[in-house]
Structure 1
Amino acid sequence: MFDIPQLDLKGKVSDAEWQTRVDLAACYRLVAMHGWDDLIYTHISARIPDSEHLLINAFGLAFDEITASNLVKIDFQGNIIDENCPFEINPAGFTIHSAIHEVRHDAMCVLHLHTNETIAVASLEQGLLPLSQYAMFALASMSYHEYEGLAVNPAEKLRLQQDLGMKNFMLLRNHGGLTVGKTIGDAFMHMYDLTRACQIQLQIQGSGQPAVLVDQEIVDGIRAQANIVHTGLTGGQKSWPAMLRKVYRTDPHFAR
């Protein structure tokens, strides 16, 4: 009952596109495994290398149903490229993701989620505070965007672009979290850091005890320290192979 159309694009698209599809499908599965998904809502998008096309989830599929082949290829106007595609996309997801991909050519992946923790911290006047090592990574490249209702208004795209600038982390007020990355692994690890930072902040604030804030000078130096820890590579490059192996162990069918 309620069968999902079964597609098989392996060998029918370029090697670069197929690898992007596999990595993006794995990212969706990881989000579901962490309990960060929101039924059929929220989105992760990726630019196909050397193209003006994006991949995004089919509207109506749960994150643990995403496969490499059922990701939907669209252009920056939201048009579905394959005329035989049996799926559609969420207009709100297209507005947010296309806005960022249009101007951030360094960002291969845009990850937007509605976790309780990111919504809660995004709704605090002070936003994310320097209370944990996880917060340090996010605060080194943090931005905010004010709530404007459901993201279906094209006029909001310019404000999203301006608010994000060249940052890699964003808290959307009263809405959730967003991260971008040069790779899909980078965007995932940024979201991991942001989510853990928000979880820890709420736990500290919930304790009712005075908290120790990290000095801004230390926050400013975190990015250089991270380069040393990752031996010149990004956090996503170092951790993504392990994350990919984890998804393959759980359900290798995502890569079909």
Structure 2
Amino acid sequence: MATAIHETPTISDAEWEARQQLAACYRVFDMLGWSEMIYNHITLKVPGEEGAFLINPFGLHFSEVKASNLVKIDLDGNKLDGSPYPVNRAGFVQHAVFHRHLPDAHCIMHTHTTAGMAVSSLEGGLRPINFYAASFVGQIAYHDFEGVTVRDEEGARLVEHLGDKRMMLLKNHGIVAMGRTLPEAFIKHWSLQRACEIQLATMSMGTPIEVPAEVVAVHQRDIGQAQAPGGPGAADFAAMVRLVDRTDRSWRE
């Protein structure tokens, strides 16, 4: 039972809170149509435990993820919580290398959304042609497709290509979003997804109008003034969780 897991001495209150937040995020992603069968991943560091992070159990749909069935692993892929579920190596390799080398990457999200994969497969990638895209000018890294991410040696190139950025389009592959908190990573992923969706719609109609560089600079300077209280993405994520709760609260278990 979920209650028994929560009461197990090896799971702290901080970890249980992180588990619930991450489980809620998986349900939000599913509600938004960002599930990809049993694939793709959102990972979250375990507070107070160096090198430990939570990941979804391989074989479950996003809509089946709960706080209690998330898997806790270390940076070498060892399970730390006795979970009966396996972990997808493709998810582990990519997320572990970022968690290992980026202290500020508290939460990492990777998806294969149609819009994200389409723009990542387009020469030139994301273009400054809409409100959301303007926010990401100069802030997105790109990494060439090397096949499914199961080889450890690709990790060095992922980190090198990311550089000092915390958003990436994996070419021909999809979106990677990172944040100092889960809500921050969420709002960055949501905004990039919207930018990609609008780019696809715009390009299907004709020649897009690019936002001039000087306007992009003003936009990026001022965008923080439109942020709700609580930190980046906090109010946005909380609103999405409330929507999930209207139909299914089982993620809390």
Offset, 1:125:
1.0
SS at structure 2 position matched to 1:178: strand
**Relative to structure 1, is the Cα distance of residues 237 and 31 closer, same or farther in structure 2, using a 3 angstrom cutoff?**
same
TM score, norm. by length of structure 2: 0.93
Q: Which residue of 1 aligns with 2:87?
A: 89
Counterpart AA for 2:77: G
1:10 and 2:6 correspond: yes
Offset, 1:140:
4.7
Counterpart AA for 2:95: H
Instruction: Choose the corresponding residue for 1:229, options 206, 212, 226.
Output: 226
Give, in whole Å, the separation in 1 of the partners of 2:102 and 2:218: 24
Counterpart AA for 1:81: L
Q: Structure 1 runs of 4+ off > 6 angstroms?
A: none
Give the % identical residues.
Answer: 41
**Relative to structure 1, is the Cα distance of residues 119 and 97 closer, same or farther in structure 2, using a 3 angstrom cutoff?**
same
Aligned residues: 249
5+ residue gaps, structure 2: none
Give, in whole Å, the separation in 1 of the partners of 2:72 and 2:204: 43
**Relative to structure 1, is the Cα distance of residues 229 and 140 closer, same or farther in structure 2, using a 3 angstrom cutoff?**
farther
**Relative to structure 1, is the Cα distance of residues 220 and 142 closer, same or farther in structure 2, using a 3 angstrom cutoff?**
farther
Q: Which residue of 2 aligns with 1:3?
A: none
Offset, 1:236:
1.1
**Relative to structure 1, is the Cα distance of residues 125 and 191 closer, same or farther in structure 2, using a 3 angstrom cutoff?**
same
Offset, 1:242:
1.5
Give, in whole Å, the separation in 1 of the partners of 2:229 and 2:137: 20
For residues 56-77 of structure 1, what are the alpha-carbon distances to aligned partners after superposition, in whole Å with 9 as ceiling and x for unaligned? 0000000000000100000000
Give, in whole Å, the separation in 1 of the partners of 2:154 and 2:230: 34
Offset, 1:197:
0.6
Offset, 1:7:
4.5
Q: Which residue of 2 aligns with 1:250?
A: 247
5+ residue gaps, structure 1: 1-5
Asked if structure 1 preserves the Cα contact closer than 8 Å seen for 2:228 and 2:235, the reply is: no
TM score, norm. by length of structure 1: 0.92
Q: CA RMSD in A?
A: 1.6
